[in-house]
Structure formats: C-alpha cells, structure tokens
Amino acid sequence: MSRRSNDLIKATFIHQTMDTTDERYANDQRWVDKNQPLFTKALLEFKEAIFNSTFKEYIEERIGSMYFVN
C-alpha cells in the first residue's frame, strides 16, 4: 500500500513539474495535496493495528520480524 501510493505521488509530482501549464496535471497535484494526509493517516493506523494485533506473532512468522522493527 505504501509503495503504490508513494509511486502515485511521485508520478504526479513529476508530471506537474514537467508541464505546469497542463490543467490535468495541476488537478492531479491538487488531488494528491488534498488526499496525501489521509493516505498517511490510514497507513499509520494500519501499521499500528498490525503492531498491536493479537496475531502479531503469526504475522511475524509469515513476513519476518523486520516489519515490526522499521
């Protein structure tokens, strides 16, 4: 989730800086500016839920302990 949203944000930024006169790119950038805080909040809440999950040990076995370190 984090990687995909970051890729979208980067692509939007690149498009907007390549052609600042293109209204579509400007609209895309406004959308990102408006919604990025929501994505960030949702991602942090998701990570917190995983960290506090009763299934944390099982998740750690499946994907490794590094997820909980970073």
Model pTM score: 0.64
pLDDT of 49 reads 93
pLDDT of 55 reads 92
Q: What integer best gives the mean pLDDT of the chain?
A: 87
Contact 28, 19 (CB under 8 A): no
CA distance 23 to 46: 34
Contact 67, 60 (CB under 8 A): yes
Tell me the pLDDT band of 41, cut-offs 50, 70 and 90.
very high
Residues 26-43, mean pLDDT to the nearest whole number: 90
What is the three-class DSSP state of 65? coil
Q: How far apart are the first and last CA of the chain?
A: 15
